Every structure is written in C-alpha cells, then in structure tokens.
Chains A and B, each alone.
Chain A
Amino acid sequence: MVVSVRSWVANEGGKHLVLMLWLGANTWLFMNTFLLYSTGQQYHYLYKMLGLGLCISRASASVLNLNCSLVLLPMCRSLLTFVRGTHAVSTRKTRRLLDKSKTFHVACGVAICVFSVVHVSAHLVNVVNFSASYSDDFPALNLARYRGEDPKMIIFTTIPGITGVLLVLILFLMFTSSSYCVRVSNYEIFWYTHNLFIIFYIILMVHMVGGALKYQTNIEAHPPGCLRTNQSSTEQQGEELEQSEDEEGRCREDAYFQPHYPQTWLWVSGPLCLYCVERFYRYIRSSDPVTIVTVVRHPCDVIELRMLKKNFSARPGQYIVLNCPGVSSFENHPFTLTTCPTENKETFGIHLRVVGDWTERFTQLLLPPPRIDLEILPMVQQRRYPKLYVDGPFGSPSEEVFNYDVSLCVAGGIGVTPFACVLHALLDGWTGFRLQRLYFVWVCRELQSFYWFAELLCALHHKLWQENRPDYFNLKLYVSQTDGLLSMSEEKYRPLSSRLLVGRPKWKLLLDEIGKSNKHKRVGVFCCGPKGISRTLHRLCNSARSSGTTFEFNKESFC
C-alpha cells in the first residue's frame, strides 16, 4: 500500500503541524533561555561559578513551565465539548484536531518527565559547583554556607531543594502508574495517583521561593569583569593605563545581586484555575441523580438502560460517565449514548456490555438474577433501582458523521453504540443534515449480537426506501466466527439477513468500491472497534486511491 501524499496530508497533516509548532515552541524557549544565561551580562558571575549546568537547568526549567501549563488544557473535557459544538468558532479541521487531545496531553507529560530528568541532573551539578567553587569575591551569590559544604545538606536545607525532591517523587509515582499496562488492569491506581497533580502544582509554585539563583542588577555601574580589568591595569601601569580606563569602563561600585522572583505561577495559574473550574462545574452538573426508566436485557451480555435527567441534552455520538455509589463510590465509567433526548422523547439510553467486576455488580443491582421456575410466567415486580449519577455529555469524534457528504462507519462488536445514536437521529429526520450517503459496516463475532439493533436498522432501511432514497443507507453485516448459527430466520429482519456475510471483511475492496461510487469526494471514515481493524483502516486511508477519493480517518476510543 503506497502512501499517497494527498491522502496523508488530509489525514495526518493537521496533527503533525500542531506537533511541529509545539516542538518549535519548546526548542525556541530552550535556546533562548540557554543563550540568555550563557551570554547575558547580568549572569556573568553566576555563569563563571556554575558553568553550563546553570544554562541547561534554567533552559529546561522554562520548557517545563510551558509544558506544565499546556498539559492541563487537553483535559478540560467540558470546554472541548463546547468548542466542538459551536460550529461558528471551529471548522471541521479544528474539530478533528480535538480528537487527539489525549495524545497531546501524553506528549506534554512525556516532555515534562524528560526535561525534569535534564533539570534535576543539571541542578545536581550546580549544587556540587556551588559547594566546590564557593565564591569569596561575591558572598551574596553563594548558596552554600561555606566552601566544600556537603551538597546533600544544601539540597535538604533549602526550599528549592526540598520542594524539588518532593516534586520528583510525585512525578515518579504519576509516571509509573500511567503506563498502558497499569491503566488496563487497575484503572484506579492510575486515577488516584494522577490526582496528585494538584499537590504537584502547589509545590511547583513555591519551588522558586528562596531565590537560589541571583542576577546582577547594576550592570552599568559595575560592568561584569571590571574587577579583573582594575587589577590588570594596576599591574601594567604605565602604557595601558589610559587605554583601559577609557575602553573597559569604570567599576564605580560593587556588584549587587538580587534573586529572581518566582515566575512559574504566571505560566501555570491560568490553566490550573481553568481546570479546577471545569472539575467543579462537572461535579455540580453530575450531583443530580438520574431516574432509571427501563432496563432491558439483550443477548451476548448486553444491558440497555434508559434514563431521565432534568436539563440533559446531548448530540449523537457523545458519551457520558456513570457513577453508581451502590457499586463503588469513586469509580467512573464512560459509556456512549445510544439514544439522545429529542423533542418527542426525553429519555436517553446506553448499551453496556457486562465485562469486568463493576459492570457485573451493576447488572446485579439492576436486574436480579432470574429464577428458573419463574421463567415461563414473567412476573411484574416492584424493583428498586440503585442511585446513579451521570456526568457529561462529552464530545467524541463520531459527532462528525453528519458533517461529511459521504460517511463510512465501521463498528466492531459493542463499538456500534456511537453509530446507533447516529442512526436514531437519522430515523427521526434524515433531511436536515449535510450527509448524503452513509455506509455502515458492522462486524461481530456472534450472530446474536446483531439483535441489539436489528429493529433500528430495519426501521431505518424501510423508512428510506419508502421515502425514495434507497442509496442513502448502505448496510453490510459481517459475522466473523464461522461456527455457530449463521442466518437470521425472522421474516421481519429480511433486509439484514440478505446483507449478512460470513467471514472478515476485505477492507481494501470495500474502500475501492466506495471510492468508485464517490469519485473526487471526501469520505469520512469512522471506526470504533478493535485495534486491528482501526490500524488496517488507517493505513488504507493514507494510501493512494485511483478514484481520486480522499478518505479521512477518525477513530473513537476510550482509555
């Protein structure tokens, strides 16, 4: 598969542009601060005492300031959802960039770790130099109390030293618990250690108090290096006396040093306040418990939950975060909405698959396990549903399905949930959107999974055929496991059974076919499913296409 420049630029161009800008900003900041400290007149004496360690540590500190302020911004989810929603402010290209907000957060986090290592190493060298090159000429410049003071004492008895050690420990805890392995197996460890960030930021803002590094304030009156010229002029008295007095300037007074005042709060306080406001807003918004209206059990371990909440509105494709104190007080789990509230119907619903202990316990609270002898006669019993809190809705890439002329939605198993909401919206009224054609590919392991949304698919199909747009909705269903039941026998699901294919889909042929029917158009590809499918599709979208169609890849994923 040859990568075509046009497809690659359409898919990856925006992301890489932002990456280049970010790298450029970091490099510029690093070089600027490095040159300031190595060539600046006000740092001349300090540079002589500490050497390169001074420049590297200060340059990495400024890069750390930038990244510590940027790392919070992609995590303001409500703000990003709002930006995604206002089409006036953002174009489709900007909204596509918002999909990668978590990746940007990780990039800034990695930069913080890397530059912390550089910063700490440089400062360790500085501390050794403070102790070894204790300056007798300028006592105000020293951090050590006497020549040869043990560097460990310097670290543990100054504010920058102790706060630095604490910051490194917190960063170490946060970094080691955010690996993919720990997140997948024990999300709580990741969540609780990552919430130590607030302590990290508070300590960061007092890190510079105490003023370890000082700059000279009276450069005109005491040009750096003039002590030496005064001394050398007394040595070579006769000939150069007049010359040196004229050229090098006069030392009118002693050098006067002043520590920097802390600057980190200038960088960090804005995003930190924004993030705290956002968390507070989310807490207030989710403090209203929701009313559970219906619970339906579907085949293959899927439960559908319909709920009602005051002042709740959502767009198709968005997701919510559930918290059930009856199961666990602090765990929050994201689920995509499968039905959004409309003018006619105020309830919204999710489909959740029972895998893992939270969902199992939650299902047990919702639906007590059926007793065998009561299966024949269903009894209506009064059920007391558990209390449930909902945070959201939050934006996701699948909201863009309506903003392309042609869209291809690929779903794997339970990944069909964002598209189910899209299909419900089309069922309510398909004429109002920019979307002219939708290709829907759903791959499942077992045939029973298709029954989750069989009625919705058939209803949409019939409606579009009745309204004379048979080419609007193109459905393909694939059953990937070849043993087991392989056909849907019900008469009402005839449109589905005639579009059911056995085996895995051949993506290249599919994209070629779509490309032939939609020449020179921009097709939005939306994938929500296992990594294998999304990787293959991504590669295919980046590769050359003879029909001139551009495929823009959008992936939906959690954690």
Chain B
Amino acid sequence: MGQIEWAMWANEQALAAGLILLTGGVVGVAGQFRGWQFAAYAVAAGAFVCLLEYPRSKRAKGTSVARTGQYCFTVCVKAFGPLTRNYYVRAFLHAAICVPGGFMLATVLGCVCLGIASLIYLAAAIRGEHWEPILPKKETRKPVAQSIKNPPQNPPPRPPAELRRKQAKDLEAAAYDNPMPVTLDE
C-alpha cells in the first residue's frame, strides 16, 4: 500500500462531485425551490470545480493517461502556479466550496461528495504529492557526442597474430588474458 497515489483518486471524485453539484444546482434553479439562490451558487461552484479538476496530473512513476482535450485546461491551471500545484490549497478550497451546498436539498449530495474528495486531497497533500502538468514532450535531438568526431586511431590491444592462432601442439601457451572483462552474452 506504500505507493498509492491518492491524488488520482481524489481527482476522479472531485470531478464527479463537481458534476453532481452542477446538476443539483440546475435542478434547484429550474424548479425554483426554496433557497434557489444556493442552487445558483452551486451551478457556478460546480462548473468551477469541473474546470479545475479536468486536467489530470502527471504520475510520479508510470504512464499518465490524459483526458481528451485537456491540454488547454492544463495550460490555464498551470498559469496559477503554486496555488494549483499544492494539494493543501485544493483540499481547503474544496472544503470551503462545498459548505454552502449543504443548505439546499438539491445540492446536499454534491456537498457531501465534494467533502469526501477534499479529505482525500488532504491525505494526498500530507503524503507530499503535488500537481504536475502533462505537457507534450518536445522532440530534442540528441546532441552529437564529441567522441563521434574523433574515431579511435589505434586498433584495440591484441597480442600478435602468431600467438592468437591456436597452436594445435601447445594449447596452454596460446591462452591469453583479456584486458577487458568479458561476460557471457545470454
């Protein structure tokens, strides 16, 4: 269990919670229920949470799967620098956003789900994770090594040809020590 990345799970939960909050808010405003102002707030808050959580973070180890079309969101979220990199900020932000949702029936569910996501973000932050943008890799051509311009002038060190030819009469004397260590290539 030592290497679980909690932030990835918290990201999925926060995105789902944002959608639930948004839907609950839309229902509340459309039905003009009591307290519909909270529902209007929930629409805005849900949309904001969705936009913040849409770009996935790059995994510390392993391949990261980006969501479709997340590049522009990544650029926007990256622009806020340490505010979005740090998961403590996200945890407290989600906790603060979810509170007004609890006052209206239609948005209660979104509030609770976002609260759970905020707790898991807190756990991720305590374990030292942070958000890394997934950016397309820039193609860098490997710089040509210096040694390619100067090929070796001398052949590798070998004993003279007579010694190398296996003497059928004298196998013992024909053996020589390799100056470089040799391993079986299997």
Separation in Å of the B166 CB from the closest CB of chain A? 21
Q: Which residues of chain B are within 8 angstroms of A155 by Cβ–Cβ distance?
A: 105
A173 within 8 A of B: yes
Separation in Å of the B45 CB from the closest CB of chain A? 18
Separation in Å of the A389 CB from the closest CB of chain B? 19
How does the 8 Å CB contact mask read for B133-157 relative to A, with 1 for contact and 0 for none?
0000000000000000000000000
How does the 8 Å CB contact mask read for B99-131 relative to A, with 1 for contact and 0 for none?
000000110110011001000000000000000
- A165 CA to B8 CA, complexed, in Å: 25
Main secondary structure of the interface of B (DSSP, over half): helix
Separation in Å of the A327 CB from the closest CB of chain B? 12
Asked if B106 contacts A172 (CB within 8 A), the reply is no
- A169 CA to B20 CA, complexed, in Å: 12
Near A by CB (< 8 A), chain B positions 1-57 give: 1, 3-6, 8-9, 12-13, 16-17, 27, 33, 56
Asked if B16 contacts A172 (CB within 8 A), the reply is yes
Near B by CB (< 8 A), chain A positions 179-225 give: 179-182, 184-186, 188-189
Q: Which residues of chain A are within 8 angstroms of B106 by Cβ–Cβ distance?
A: 124
Asked if B4 contacts A188 (CB within 8 A), the reply is yes
Q: Which residues of chain B are within 8 angstroms of A189 by Cβ–Cβ distance?
A: 4, 6, 9
User: Interface centre among A173, A189, A357, by most B CB within 10 Å?
Assistant: A189
Q: Which residues of chain A are within 8 angstroms of B161 by Cβ–Cβ distance?
A: none
Contact for A176 among B1, B5, B12, B62, CB less than 8 A: B12
- A524 CA to B106 CA, complexed, in Å: 53
Q: Which residues of chain B are within 8 angstroms of A287 by Cβ–Cβ distance?
A: none
Query: Number of A-B pairs whose CB atoms are under 8 Å?
Result: 57
A127 within 8 A of B: yes
Contact for B9 among A121, A169, A177, A184, CB less than 8 A: A177
Closest to B16 in A: A176
Given the interface pairs A176-B13, A186-B5, the reply to whether A181 lies near B56 with Cβ below 8 Å is: yes
Asked if A181 contacts B12 (CB within 8 A), the reply is yes
- A128 CA to B108 CA, complexed, in Å: 14
Asked if B13 contacts A172 (CB within 8 A), the reply is yes
Asked if A179 contacts B105 (CB within 8 A), the reply is no
A175 within 8 A of B: yes
How does the 8 Å CB contact mask read for B173-186 relative to A, with 1 for contact and 0 for none?
00000000001001
A120 within 8 A of B: yes
Given the interface pairs A128-B105, A169-B112, A176-B13, the reply to whether A186 lies near B8 with Cβ below 8 Å is: yes
Q: Which residues of chain A are within 8 angstroms of B72 by Cβ–Cβ distance?
A: none
Asked if A173 contacts B116 (CB within 8 A), the reply is yes
Asked if B183 contacts A375 (CB within 8 A), the reply is yes
Q: Which residues of chain A are within 8 angstroms of B33 by Cβ–Cβ distance?
A: 128
Asked if A120 contacts B13 (CB within 8 A), the reply is no
B59 within 8 A of A: yes
Asked if A169 contacts B12 (CB within 8 A), the reply is no
Closest to A193 in B: B9
Asked if A124 contacts B12 (CB within 8 A), the reply is no
A168 within 8 A of B: yes
How does the 8 Å CB contact mask read for A160-179 relative to B, with 1 for contact and 0 for none?
00000100110011011101
Chain A interface size range: 20 to 34
Asked if B3 contacts A182 (CB within 8 A), the reply is no
Q: Which residues of chain A are within 8 angstroms of B116 by Cβ–Cβ distance?
A: 169, 172-173
Asked if A175 contacts B16 (CB within 8 A), the reply is yes
Asked if B9 contacts A186 (CB within 8 A), the reply is yes
Asked if B1 contacts A188 (CB within 8 A), the reply is yes
Q: Which residues of chain A are within 8 angstroms of B108 by Cβ–Cβ distance?
A: 152
Asked if B109 contacts A185 (CB within 8 A), the reply is no
Q: Which residues of chain B are within 8 angstroms of A175 by Cβ–Cβ distance?
A: 16
Closest to A297 in B: B186
- A177 CA to B17 CA, complexed, in Å: 13
Q: Which residues of chain A are within 8 angstroms of B6 by Cβ–Cβ distance?
A: 189
Closest to B106 in A: A124
Contact for A357 among B3, B5, B13, CB less than 8 A: B3
B65 within 8 A of A: yes
Contact for B105 among A127, A181, A328, CB less than 8 A: A127
A271 within 8 A of B: no
- A189 CA to B5 CA, complexed, in Å: 9
Closest to B103 in A: A152
Asked if A180 contacts B8 (CB within 8 A), the reply is no
A74 within 8 A of B: no
- A307 CA to B11 CA, complexed, in Å: 42
Asked if B4 contacts A177 (CB within 8 A), the reply is no
Near A by CB (< 8 A), chain B positions 68-118 give: 105-106, 108-109, 112-113, 116
Asked if B65 contacts A181 (CB within 8 A), the reply is yes
Closest to A184 in B: B65
Contact for B113 among A124, A127, A172, CB less than 8 A: A172
21 contacts between A and B (CB under 8 A): A128-B105, A151-B105, A152-B108, A155-B105, A165-B112, A168-B109, A169-B116, A172-B13, A173-B13, A173-B116, A181-B65, A182-B8, A182-B9, A184-B65, A185-B5, A185-B8, A185-B59, A186-B5, A186-B8, A188-B1, A189-B4
- Taking A173-B13, A186-B4, A328-B1 as known contacts, 20 extra A-B pairs with beta carbons closer than 8 A to each other, sorted by chain A number, are A124-B106, A128-B33, A128-B105, A152-B108, A169-B116, A172-B16, A176-B9, A176-B13, A179-B12, A181-B8, A181-B56, A182-B12, A185-B62, A186-B5, A186-B9, A188-B1, A188-B4, A189-B4, A189-B6, A189-B9
